């Protein structure tokens, strides 16, 4: 498939009183048409900032790099062109749909408005389309829901509505930031099913941000693992699950609960994500890594590619790192 999005050496940094926070630091990866790409990592790794940079929803613009969408750099686009892209080609859904829905407007109003705005149709046609969308996302009695207010719906229904709003513009890319984290397990599975159906039906590319390896296993075609503002590993999903390379990824996979198996206690990676203000030019995982060598504390490992296209940034996989 063709490349839809390409992050090229993206750097999104924030100045704080404590120093510079390199939330996203020299990140490069691609999303292909119709592909589900999962960005995985613990919270604070830069996943959401990467997505928000793409949407240009951050007050401070990235300090470096490019974000190409169909070959055009979104970071260089005028505000007006960018808002057209946001309404037509790229849509986003968030973790807590209640905060993105307007509590004083009916569900119908909130779907009709973007349709009228972006598809230049009249209210009647827009309503027709809105009802179709509510049906499409698997909500029965769409006419009744159309006249309801957000607080009258369950969390799962609200997330379906957010997906309906996102789909109203037939996006080429749907960004979903922890879309099921706030939902209980059964509802979570239904929402993931819905997203998979949408991808199949409309060939929509999905950039799915999650900390949950179970979600990754179910949804991803391709996986990008982030740690402390960097991409530390990336590969097609089967390759990544069968042959994880980075000690951090291996830790995440160990931490994944096994379905139908009662476990005493979940494994979790010891230690914490480092303070983002004082990151050195070293491996940011070094103080949590059981394989840490001298070079890891002194030099940042580059993101290297093996013959299968599996990428990893770790000195264990570099000739240089093996020399004491």
- Distance (Å, rounded) from C-alpha 145 to C-alpha 132? 12
Q: Which long-range contacts (CB under 8 A, 24 or more apart) does 197-201 make?
A: 198/163, 198/167, 198/174, 199/34, 199/36
The β-bridge relationship of strands 173-177 and 90-93 is parallel
Q: Does 12 bind Mg ion (CB under 5 A)?
A: no
Binding mask 250-279 for ligand SF4 (x = CB under 6 A): ------------------------------
In the region spanning residues 292 to 311, those forming contacts with ligand SF4, defined by CB under 6 A, are 292-293, 296, 301
Q: Does 245 bind ligand SF4 (CB under 6 A)?
A: no
According to CB under 6 A, which one of 247, 251, 274, 276 is a site residue for ligand SF4? 247
Q: What are phi and psi of 322, to 5 degrees?
A: -80, -15
| Site size for ligand SF4 (CB under 6 A) | 14
Q: Does 48 bind Mg ion (CB under 5 A)?
A: yes
Q: Does 53 bind Mg ion (CB under 5 A)?
A: no
- Quote the least distance from Cβ 252 to Mg ion, whole Å: 15
How long is the chain? 324
- Quote the least distance from Cβ 124 to ligand SF4, whole Å: 59
- Quote the least distance from Cβ 304 to ligand SF4, whole Å: 11
- Distance (Å, rounded) from C-alpha 252 to C-alpha 226? 11
- Quote the least distance from Cβ 155 to Mg ion, whole Å: 18
Among 112, 122, 61, 55, smallest CA distance to 89 is for 55
Burial 76-93 (b: 16+ CB within 10 A, else e): ebeeeebeebbbeebbbb
Token representation of residue 127: 């309503």
According to CB under 6 A, which one of 254, 291, 294, 304 is a site residue for ligand SF4? 291
Q: Does 286 bind ligand SF4 (CB under 6 A)?
A: yes
Contacting positions for Mg ion (CB under 5 A)? 48
Contacting positions for ligand SF4 (CB under 6 A)? 246-247, 283, 285-286, 289, 291-293, 296, 301, 314-316
């Amino acid at each position: 498939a063709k490349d839809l999005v390409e992050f090229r050496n993206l750097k999104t940094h924030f100045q704080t009183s404590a120093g510079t926070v390199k939330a996203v630091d020299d990140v490069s990866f691609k999303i292909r048409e119709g592909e589900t790409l999962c960005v995985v990592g613990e919270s604070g790794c830069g996943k959401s900032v990467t997505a928000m940079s793409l949407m240009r929803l951050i007050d401070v613009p990235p300090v470096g790099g490019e974000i190409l969408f169909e070959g055009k750099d979104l970071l260089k686009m005028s505000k007006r062109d960018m808002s057209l892209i946001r309404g037509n080609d790229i849509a986003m859904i968030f973790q807590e749909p209640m905060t993105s829905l307007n509590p004083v407007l009916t569900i119908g109003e909130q779907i009709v408005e973007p349709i009228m705005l972006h598809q230049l149709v009249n209210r009647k046609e827009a309503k027709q389309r809105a009802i179709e969308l509510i049906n499409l996302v698997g909500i029965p009695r769409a006419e009744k829901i159309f006249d309801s207010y957000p607080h009258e719906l369950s969390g799962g229904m609200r997330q379906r509505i957010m997906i309906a709003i996102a789909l109203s513009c037939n996006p080429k890319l749907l960004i979903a930031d922890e879309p099921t984290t706030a939902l209980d397990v059964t509802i979570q599975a239904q929402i993931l099913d819905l997203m998979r159906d949408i991808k199949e039906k409309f060939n929509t590319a999905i950039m799915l941000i999650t900390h949950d390896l179970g979600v990754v296993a179910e949804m991803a075609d391709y996986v990008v693992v982030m740690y402390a503002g960097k991409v530390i590993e990336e590969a097609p999903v089967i390759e990544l699950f069968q042959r994880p390379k980075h000690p951090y990824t291996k830790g995440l996979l160990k931490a994944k609960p096994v379905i139908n198996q009662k476990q005493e206690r979940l494994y979790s990676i010891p230690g914490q994500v480092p303070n983002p203000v004082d990151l050195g030019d070293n491996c940011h995982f070094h103080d949590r890594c059981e394989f840490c060598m001298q070079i890891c504390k002194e030099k940042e490992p580059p993101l290297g590619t093996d013959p299968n296209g599996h990428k990893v940034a770790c000195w264990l996989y570099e000739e240089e790192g093996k020399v004491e």
